[in-house]
Structure 1
Amino acid sequence: MASKVLQRVNERLLEENPAEHQLFDIILITTDSWQQQQSFSIINSTRRHGLEVSRFCFSKEEDFIESLMQNNVQLFLTTDGNEALQATQQGVPSALLDKNSASCPSEQLRVLFCEDAIIQPHAGSTAASQKSAQSFLAQLGQIRQKFGMFNSPVCFTLVTSRGGKDSCCSTLKSLRALGVSVDEAYCLGGAPRGPILSLLRPHLLLSDGFGQLDG
């Protein structure tokens, strides 16, 4: 579960520096009417499972973007591509959660950058969302830099599926310009990326909102 892994990153950051302030702040937002009726049970359930959720937001479906704005959400995590697109269009960067990541437990936060998400402008991307996305990427890079090469609680992986090694190198340079150094890079040269994704099993797939980087 992504929230558990994010908590582990926070724990490791505090182990490195008890005064660390650059921590993940987890907010649970739901638009499901049934879940809202069970709000007390949901809150108790998260605590029972040891999930450190700082805030709970029970919003109407038509108001969930406003909830993101009011809570100053810097990255919206969802398994729903339509919700991700709506958030992106309003300038809130989004990432898709791997629905199956819970079946492959790991104490390391695995973040996957896809070529399509990084190089190609997305139809739903806006200047605001791209600027916010790049700001968040820079913050992720800063967090990764707080740890050494080995035994880090965060792992960045880049997968490029077209353009060959030149495209891969260009993307790596663009990421490094933002202070993001990847731990692994795969240049597929036109091969389908499904098989490698099934092996990598990332917690976060950075897609909508992470439009064209300046390289």
Structure 2
Amino acid sequence: MPATLEGQLVVAISSRALFDFEEENRLFESGDTHGYMQAQLHKLDQPAAPGVAFSLVKKLLAFNGDGQRRVEVVVLSRNDPVSGMRVFRSAAAHGLNLIERGVFTQGSDPFRYLRPLGAHLFLSANEADVRQALALKFPAARVATGSMQASNEHPDEVRIAFDGDAVLFDDEAERVYQHGGLQAFQAHEVENAALPLPPGPFQPFLAALHQLQQASQQGAAPLRIRTALVTARSAPAHERAIRTLMSWNIAVDEAMFLGGLPKGPFLREFEPDFFFDDQTGHVSNAAEHVPSGLVTYGISHEPVLAFSE
């Protein structure tokens, strides 16, 4: 029978999201692609340090610990194939032997391979690739490469935190807020409290995590999943968010309705392996405490049109 990824949670990840290749990347960004390749080849036997999403990947792969393949991680990278050798060697050196597949495009757009992979998540340090992935309806985030590394305090749990509007939910309510302010937003959400919000770009990933949790409970997987909704919403706008999750038959373990308070200190206490948000300010604040990624989706990331007389 041909190989298949059907029934698995599939994570596509760039080499810079998985490993710390920032020093080498400066050569690549300068246009010295040959120097970049030579630097990677020179360090072939030197394992790269863990990157921002390393903890998330390592824990997700642990769901295969009982011999059942529930999670597949594929390196999807603008690296050249030669540099890809160091990626695989680094993965093996860090015990990520289950990373067996990779696509290396040598500078070409890699996001087009998300479709044949059936990816449930794409993590990259390249903003253009993330935007294209989101346009193709794949959950994607640009990792903040300067993020704090994940805590080691919860080895038996994968902890993931999500913003609400423009991440788990569509940006419908965010558009009301942007155009009419907080009072209009609150009135709109109270009026529509019983009407579920449309799904946002990360709803499919949350659903896939829910299925993974259910599948692992039937086997002997050594980890569990703990999720949190961390949102700037507050009462009375909280009710619509909760009812939306209920309509999806998906529960989160924790919900934080912060009413505009900085999210970083709360995320520091939750200690996620990764946090997803659509607001640059929230991601910058969170990255001081936890691994974070920017979801470049919705009204906050649409171009501002300038009109002249």
- Under a length normalisation based on structure 1, what TM-score does the superposition of the two structures give? 0.73
After superposition, the Cα gap between the structure-2 partners of 1:152 and 1:38, relative to the gap in structure 1 and judged at 3 Å, is closer
Q: 2:109 aligns with which of 56, 63, 66?
A: 63
Q: CA deviation at 1:109?
A: 1.1
Query: Is the 1:142–1:179 Cα contact (8 Å) retained in structure 2?
Result: no
Q: CA deviation at 1:82?
A: 4.1
Q: 1:24 aligns with which of 71, 74, 79?
A: 71
Considering only CA atoms, is the larger Rg found in Structure 1 or Structure 2? 2
Q: 2:235 aligns with which of 165, 184, 192?
A: 165
Q: CA deviation at 1:133?
A: 4.2
- Under a length normalisation based on structure 2, what TM-score does the superposition of the two structures give? 0.53
Could you tell me which residue of structure 1 aligns to residue 160 of structure 2? 111
After superposition, the Cα gap between the structure-2 partners of 1:97 and 1:177, relative to the gap in structure 1 and judged at 3 Å, is farther
Of 1-10 and 99-108, more deviation after overlay is shown by 99-108
Distance 1:64 1:177 in 2: 35
CA deviation digits over 1:117-141, x for unaligned, max 9?
2345289xxxxxx687433322222
Q: 1:41 aligns with which of 86, 93, 113?
A: 86
Match for 1:118: what amino acid? Answer: L
Query: Is the 2:160–2:274 Cα contact (8 Å) retained in structure 1?
Result: yes
Distance 1:31 1:139 in 2: 26
Could you tell me which residue of structure 1 aligns to residue 259 of structure 2? 189
After superposition, the Cα gap between the structure-2 partners of 1:183 and 1:79, relative to the gap in structure 1 and judged at 3 Å, is farther
User: What percentage of aligned pairs have identical amino acids?
Assistant: 24
Distance 2:231 2:169 in 1: 10
Could you tell me which residue of structure 1 aligns to residue 139 of structure 2? 93
Unaligned 5+ runs, structure 1: 124-129
After superposition, the Cα gap between the structure-2 partners of 1:59 and 1:176, relative to the gap in structure 1 and judged at 3 Å, is farther
Would you identify which runs of 4 or more consecutive aligned residues in structure 1 move more than 6 Å?
none
Distance 2:129 2:273 in 1: 18
Distance 1:101 1:8 in 2: 22
- The structure whose residues are more often helix, as a share, is 1
Bigger RCO (CA 8 Å, 6+ sep): 1
After superposition, the Cα gap between the structure-2 partners of 1:210 and 1:158, relative to the gap in structure 1 and judged at 3 Å, is farther
Q: CA deviation at 1:2?
A: 1.7
Match for 1:29: what amino acid? Answer: L
After superposition, the Cα gap between the structure-2 partners of 1:95 and 1:7, relative to the gap in structure 1 and judged at 3 Å, is same
Of 101-110 and 188-197, more deviation after overlay is shown by 101-110
Q: CA deviation at 1:174?
A: 1.4
Distance 1:41 1:79 in 2: 18
After superposition, the Cα gap between the structure-2 partners of 1:112 and 1:98, relative to the gap in structure 1 and judged at 3 Å, is farther
Distance 1:70 1:104 in 2: 34
Distance 2:213 2:110 in 1: 30
Query: Is the 1:133–1:210 Cα contact (8 Å) retained in structure 2?
Result: no
Query: Is the 1:93–1:132 Cα contact (8 Å) retained in structure 2?
Result: yes
